[in-house]
Each structure stands twice: as C-alpha cells, then as structure tokens.
C-alpha cells in the first residue's frame, strides 16, 4: 500500500501532470491497472513459492504429505492461500488508488474475473517455482528477474502502442502484455489487444501451470522420493 502510494505520488502526481493522456485516459488513471497487475503478479509468485518452499526447507512438509489429504487438496490450500492474499492486495491497491486519482471501471465483472484468473494462474506458477527451487536465490530470482521486468516491459506504465514498431512486435511475445491489456480494457474499454485474446492467453497459462503441478504430484518431483 505504501509503495502504491509512492507510485501514485511520483507517476501520478509529479510526472503524470506533464504527460499527455493515453487514449483519452489521464496518465494517473492509466497506470492504475498496471500497478495492480504488477503487485498481483509479483505477490502471487512470491507468496505461493515461499509458501511451499518454506515447509520443504524446514521439513514440516512431512506432515502435509502424511496427512489424509489428496494432492488436489494440498494444491488448493497452498495456491488458494496465495491467490486469496493477492486478491485482497488487489482490492487494497484499487481502494488506495481511488484516493489519488479519479477513475471508473467500465466492466467491473470482467475486471474481477481477470483479477481472479491472474491471481490463481500466477499462484500456480509460484507453487511450481517453490517446488523447483532448491535454494533461496532461485526462489527470489524468478519474481525479481522474470516477473518484474516482464511486467514493466509489458506496459504497466505505458501502452505498447507507444513503442517503436520493432519493439512492439517483440513485446507481443511477452505474455504479461496480454494480461495487462485485458485488465486495462476492463477498466477503460480500450486496449492494445482484444480482451478475448487476453483472456484466452491467461487461461492457457493457467492450464499449463496446472498440468505441470499435476506432473509434480504424479512423479513426486522434489516433493516425494
């Protein structure tokens, strides 16, 4: 919440005033979806990966593995907890943003759907990271070196339409562009790519993560010898 406020003071207040509106949206309002997305992505991955890595590291995972609960229930617990936390965080940032800038959400239901889908998909991704990591460096590496740069480059603070043509084409390989674009569409009704494409890509990412998690439990990869 503090970092969100800082972002708004710096980008919204100080710089935003000198920026021309993007697609008819004042800059301060334009960055709201991007900021929420940035927080949700990094928090989902960090929380979910830390959540499963910690018991693996301390050894308390034995209890979860020996309890009369299924793999689905274990995943539901860990991923559900991380996704819930992300959703709450998203709501807090949204409320905080409202204090600084004025905006309306055109498609609130779609907005919530995107928020939910992103939180769940990236919590799944974080769970995989937490299983894969065999040290603290790897655990912090993924949010730091992959998620944050991709989110920044994915247009949290600008429209990829503002990029030179070559970079715009490269940006389309960044999956986070689609998430951001779809999320922003739910706010303001305009986007870099079609909302349906965004939704499809987010769903595909979630499906891929679920397949990987299923594989982890089937083979016991780094969880059960």
Contact set with another protein (CB under 8 A): 58-60, 62-70, 220, 224-225
How far is the C-alpha of 195 from the C-alpha of 181, rounded, in Å?
Answer: 7
Nearer to another protein, 26 or 55 (CB): 55
* CB atoms near residue 27 (< 10 Å): 19
∠ Cα 71 73 79 (to 5°): 95
Taking the complex as a whole, how short is the minimal distance between the CB of residue 81 and another protein, in angstroms? 13
Nearer to another protein, 62 or 167 (CB): 62
Query: Do residues 118 and 41 make contact, with C-beta atoms less than 8 angstroms apart?
Result: yes
Enumerate the β-bridge partners of residue 22: 25
| Encoded tokens for 56 | 């693996």
Nearer to another protein, 53 or 188 (CB): 53
Taking the complex as a whole, how short is the minimal distance between the CB of residue 58 and another protein, in angstroms? 6
How far is the C-alpha of 154 from the C-alpha of 172, rounded, in Å?
Answer: 9
Nearer to another protein, 40 or 82 (CB): 82
- How far lies 28's CA from each of 56, 90, 122, 149, 190, in Å? 42, 17, 26, 21, 16
Nearer to another protein, 71 or 105 (CB): 71
How far is the C-alpha of 221 from the C-alpha of 153, rounded, in Å?
Answer: 32
Taking the complex as a whole, how short is the minimal distance between the CB of residue 219 and another protein, in angstroms? 9
Taking the complex as a whole, how short is the minimal distance between the CB of residue 127 and another protein, in angstroms? 18
Enumerate the β-bridge partners of residue 25: 22
Q: Dihedral, CA atoms, 70, 113, 3, 21, nearest 10 degrees?
A: 160
Nearer to another protein, 75 or 121 (CB): 75
Taking the complex as a whole, how short is the minimal distance between the CB of residue 137 and another protein, in angstroms? 22
Taking the complex as a whole, how short is the minimal distance between the CB of residue 70 and another protein, in angstroms? 8
């Amino acid at each position: 919440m503090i970092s969100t406020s800082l972002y708004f003071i710096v980008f919204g207040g100080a710089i935003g005033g000198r920026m021309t509106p993007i697609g008819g949206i004042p800059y301060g309002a334009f960055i709201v979806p991007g900021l929420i997305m940035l927080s949700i992505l990094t928090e989902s991955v960090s929380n979910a990966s830390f959540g499963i890595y910690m018991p693996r590291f301390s050894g308390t995972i034995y209890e979860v593995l020996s309890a009369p609960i299924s793999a689905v229930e274990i995943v539901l617990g860990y991923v559900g907890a991380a996704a819930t936390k992300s959703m709450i965080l998203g709501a807090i940032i949204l409320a905080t943003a409202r204090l600084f800038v004025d905006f309306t959400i055109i498609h609130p239901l779609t907005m919530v759907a995107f928020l939910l889908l992103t939180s769940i998909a990236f919590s799944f991704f974080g769970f995989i990271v937490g299983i894969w990591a065999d040290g603290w460096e790897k655990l912090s590496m993924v949010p730091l070196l992959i998620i944050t740069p991709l989110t920044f480059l994915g247009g949290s603070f600008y429209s990829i339409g503002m990029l030179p043509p070559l970079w715009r084409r490269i940006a389309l390989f960044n999956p986070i562009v689609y998430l951001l674009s779809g999320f922003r569409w739910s706010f303001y009704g305009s986007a870099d790519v079609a909302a349906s494409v965004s939704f499809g890509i987010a769903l595909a990412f979630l499906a891929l993560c679920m397949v990987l998690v299923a594989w982890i439990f089937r083979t016991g990869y780094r969880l059960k010898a």
